[in-house]
A = this chain, B = another copy of it.
């Protein structure tokens, strides 16, 4: 009896701790981005709204069981950002139209033949068209923007032409499917756009600016800590840049979504989204350099402080000027204005770099172990390369501003 009690108590505790950890994770996710909670309720609202339509007679009488396509469309099409929702909605509508038309055509053609032949004809044409469309999904351009459309095309085409076995009014079915999907798509898109919209374009914009700020943040901290005797290697400011190294996937998908979005806020319909990919690749290139720089910061073998201090002034100058320039560029990007101060900071960084180079040439360090000097000089030359990267980022942001 005691053991059974103990077992129950233990499992109860286990379950409650699991529930608590899920709750905490949920809280964290909601806190990190409140729009997630809003999105969840928007989806709930859209489904409830479309299911009310299902309830009203004038809607149901027209469409019958096909009305469920409206519910399905809302669930499948509703994505986090407006761009993703629009992309899926347009893909779904166009693909249903095309697939339905081709399906009706195939069915009409096949039904001219005797029944046994009709079955074979439909089977063969479904197989060939589905295979062709599936192969098309491997084309990189199609994969990026129209993958979902091709899927729905295969789906609609197969459904409509196969239904011909059972029902001779496939045209009616195709028409109803298209109409209900349009209604569902419109509900999803309208709620997505008009209830607290999440714009992929804005997100991309912020993401790009935030990545540049992470680099600025690192450089600012680097100039401060590298010339201290001892420092905290686990400083948060020195780790944030790592996420920039693997940001390519996020950027690519945000650009794809942003292309679907209409004019919003400060963004035109044909905003040059591709430029963000260029800025992103420049930012990543700079992040690779910073990663190399970081190795010298976290390395266990530290260069003697007195060697480091000899170039302290110029290195600190370069890294802080680059940090200021990048911050200015990021602010310019955020506010969509031409960055004003960045040019000055870059010029100062370049000047400091030049002087530093000259200083190195004079042979600053006499009577020191040659190998001790190398890391310091490498740090210096990496900083000089980072100035070039900063210039590149600033230039590509400027293209966007003009």
Chain A residues close to B by CB (< 8 Å): 25-26, 29-30, 36-37, 39-41, 43-45, 47-48, 51-52, 54-55, 60, 65, 68, 71-72, 75-76, 119, 122-124, 126-132, 134-135, 138-139, 151, 154-155, 158-159, 162-163, 165-166, 245-246, 248-249, 288-289, 291-292, 295, 357, 360-361, 363, 369-371, 374-375, 377-378, 381, 385
Contacts and interface: CB of A to CB of B under 8 A. Distances in A.
14 contacts: A26-B135, A30-B135, A40-B132, A40-B135, A44-B130, A47-B126, A54-B165, A55-B162, A60-B166, A246-B248, A292-B292, A295-B385, A374-B378, A374-B381
B47 A158 contact: yes
Contacts of A37: 135
Contacts of A385: 295
B162 A54 contact: yes
A135 B52 CA distance: 23
A71 B134 contact: no
Given A123-B51, A131-B40, A154-B75, A371 B361 contact: yes
Contacts of A55: 119, 162, 165
What 8 pairs across the A-B complex have the smallest Cβ distances?
A44-B131, A44-B127, A40-B135, A48-B127, A51-B162, A40-B134, A40-B131, A249-B249
A51 B126 contact: yes
Contacts of A41: 127, 131
A166 B135 CA distance: 41
Given A43-B154, A44-B134, A68-B163, 14 more contacts: A29-B139, A30-B135, A36-B135, A44-B131, A48-B126, A51-B126, A60-B166, A65-B65, A71-B158, A71-B162, A75-B155, A288-B291, A361-B371, A374-B381
B360 A122 contact: no
A374 B45 CA distance: 64
Nearest to A369: B361
Contact of A44 (B29, B65, B72, B128): B128
Given A134-B44, A154-B47, A71 B159 contact: yes
B378 A68 contact: no
A107 to B, nearest CB: 12
Contacts of A51: 122-123, 126, 158, 162, 165
A61 to B, nearest CB: 11
A370 B361 contact: yes
Nearest to A123: B48
A75 B370 contact: no
A141 B274 CA distance: 31
Contact of A130 (B30, B47, B135, B166): B47
A45 B127 contact: yes
Residue of A44, A75, A248 most packed against chain B (CB within 10 A): A44
Contacts of A154: 43, 47, 75
B36 A138 contact: yes
Contacts of A65: 65
A1 to B, nearest CB: 35
Given A44-B126, A131-B41, A374-B374, A151 B76 contact: yes
A47 B127 contact: yes
Contacts of A47: 126-127, 130, 154, 158
Contacts of A162: 51, 54-55, 68, 71
A32 to B, nearest CB: 9
Residue of A127, A134, A360, A374 most packed against chain B (CB within 10 A): A134
Contacts of A138: 29, 36
Nearest to A358: B371
Contacts of A166: 54, 60
Given A26-B139, A378-B374, A124 B48 contact: yes
